[in-house]
Chain A
Amino acid sequence: MMVLNDNIDISYDAQKRLQKIFLLLAAVAVTTSAFHFWPFDHSKTWKMMNLSNFSCLLTFAPLIFMSISKKYRVKAFSCLPHISVFAYLIINFLSISFAVSFSRSVNYVAKLAVILIGGYFLFRCAASNERFIKIIYKFALIAALISVSYCLFTRFSENRFGFHNNYYKYGTYIGTLVPLCGTYLLLSTNKGKVLLGEILIIAAIASSGSLGGVAAIFTGLLTVVFFIKSSSVKYLFLVCLVLSAPALFVVNMVSDNVIWNDFKLLERDGINLRQRYIEWQAEINLLEDRGITGTGAGCVNDFRSNFYYRLPKLNTLKAFDQNGWLAVGAEAGILGLLTFCWIVIHYGKVAVSQVLNLNANRNSIGARFATANLAGFTSACVANLFSSIQYNGILIIFVLVLSLISATNQVYGKVRQ
């Protein structure tokens, strides 16, 4: 079953060693993503070269070696992302020509390339069979548990928001990771794992301080309810959702109505709207002027304020987070958004087909992976509405979901589209 066996004559020992290296790097990349930029939060170098990104960067060494070598070329190319990802990177690269801040734009595109190509290649090579996919899920679960428990601990003990220091980034991170791992656990036949899954999801919703995080988790779980046929499993997911509501309510009471304030459309003065929607509108307005050129990758903030056009007098607007979909359009232009939609459509189609096929074939473990992947994927799409999945430290989770979809497709037979 190992991908490395396909058409390539490599010695068994070398193959095993290479596999272990990939798995180790993948474990580091996933697990350390939970720590975000800790312990050097203010270091720009660390933000670029933290353990998670560094693991992805290291992967370029075997990738280049394998691409050059005739022996390994087929294997290397089979583990690269879909062509839409390359198209997206090319458009981002070209948009640098319109960026006011050249260095920021180059840094942004470099990070995108490292994670989208290096990270994807790393996870795809590591998840080469059923056993290794399971191991990667376990590391993802560890990351989810660390982030949720640390966030809950800081919020209840020190009354501040600890992990990621930002509600929106945290919401996007767990909004993608928790449905992925939670679904994987809830679909298990082991009661202990099911219980752990329930606790993880409820704790994640309770710890989440943003509308995006809650909406992403709920969407992920509802996707499973929609696609799964077994009524007992549906019931399990619905119970989980129902139990999350009081948890959300209690935590909201304890933590200064943070979720409720995010749900509401008004500022505290009751007159002005939340800035979120004005930001969204600014990003749409930007398309009128810079439809193709965009602002340059990673440089939306240099232009966005020019496109508010008018603001309320004495406004109490606070900095708000972006909408990942519109931000892509604003930064890389319409073709950037087009290629991003292409990525989403391609992997979305594969994920849905996998769930339908594997559920129909009653392949229990395959169906479990496929359903969890789809839950993670839909959650990421929703989380991207309220924040951006392309933030440094969060993109790796989106790439993990994409590569798991691809790996499941490889291991359980390619789905015909």
Chain B
Amino acid sequence: MNNTKTLDTSQNLIKYSYREVVAHLFFAASIIASTVLCFFVSRIRVEKAFILLLGSVFVLFNVKKSQKIILLQKITLLYLIGVLFNQLSLQFTQISSGRTNITVPLSLIILVPLAVGFALKKINRPNLVDTDDLLAIWVVLFAVIILHIVILFLLLKRFYGYGFERNFAVLGGLFLYFLVFLFSWLQLENACMRQFMTLVLAILFTALIIAKM
């Protein structure tokens, strides 16, 4: 009740929408930056970019009634955003401050504005995701991978050349993609934001197709 009352005041409403806009701006800036970076420093070869373009065309359709199709669009867009992060993961840049040079992963730099956008959005929206099932599925996914890693560690620890330290990198990657999901999912609820992001990605995929010709 208290929350409703406070939101009703016009000042708070302005604050609310202001935060919402800034959150979207951070999100958009992050995606645009990663799209531009991806065009120049792609790590994994995109064999058939037109498939990704088809995916973005699917998201561009403005569906209002069917929640199921909207959910599928969100998952498709999440995949496309995930691809950007995959291309930038394991790529590093150096930040120098005075005498010290710090090597930072590119994906982490892109993740920061995404996290800020999420934090601003989170203040307005108490729920992390629209359904608890989604978080449960992530838990199951982590459980599947971690159980396999543990069992394989027990079986392979004496195996010649087995490097268990690789598993930490895998788990790190998994956690990165979970954060990408967490920070992006709420933002993708907004239809305009979805379409704008998809348009940016569609331009990238078109550019990739043209560059390959």
Contact = CB atoms under 8 A, between A and B. Distances in A.
Given A291-B177, A335-B75, A278 B159 contact: yes
Contacts of B119: none
Interface stretch (A97-105, A201-209, A233-241, A352-360): A97-105
Contacts of A265: 155
Interface stretch (A51-59, A121-129, A162-170, A326-334): A326-334
A358 to B, nearest CB: 23
B82 A333 contact: yes
Interface string B14-54: 00000000000000000000000000000011111111100
Contacts of B51: 93-94, 96-97
- For B52, B85, B137, B161, the residue with the greatest tally of chain A CB atoms inside 10 Å of its CB is B137
Interface residues on B, range: 35 or more
Contacts, number: 143
B79 A91 contact: yes
Contacts of B167: 284
B76 A311 contact: no
B152 A291 contact: no
B152 A341 contact: no
B156 A285 contact: no
Q: Is the interface of B mostly helix, strand, loop or mixed?
A: helix
Contacts of B126: none
Contacts of B45: 98
B109 interface: no
Interface string A41-55: 000000000000000
A293 interface: yes
A37 interface: no
A284 B48 contact: no
A94 B79 contact: yes
Interface in B163-198: 163, 166-167, 169-170, 173-174, 176-177
In the A-B complex, list the 7 residue pairs whose CB atoms are closest, starting with the nearest. A310-B161, A292-B82, A97-B51, A292-B86, A291-B173, A97-B48, A288-B169
11 contacts: A86-B68, A96-B51, A100-B47, A277-B152, A278-B159, A280-B148, A284-B167, A311-B160, A312-B159, A334-B141, A337-B141
Given A284-B166, A284-B170, A334-B177, 12 more contacts: A93-B55, A94-B76, A99-B48, A102-B47, A102-B48, A273-B159, A280-B152, A288-B90, A291-B89, A334-B141, A335-B82, A342-B133
Interface of B: 44-52, 55, 58, 68, 71-72, 75-76, 78-80, 82-83, 85-86, 89-90, 133, 136-138, 140-141, 144-145, 148-149, 152, 155-156, 159-163, 166-167, 169-170, 173-174, 176-177
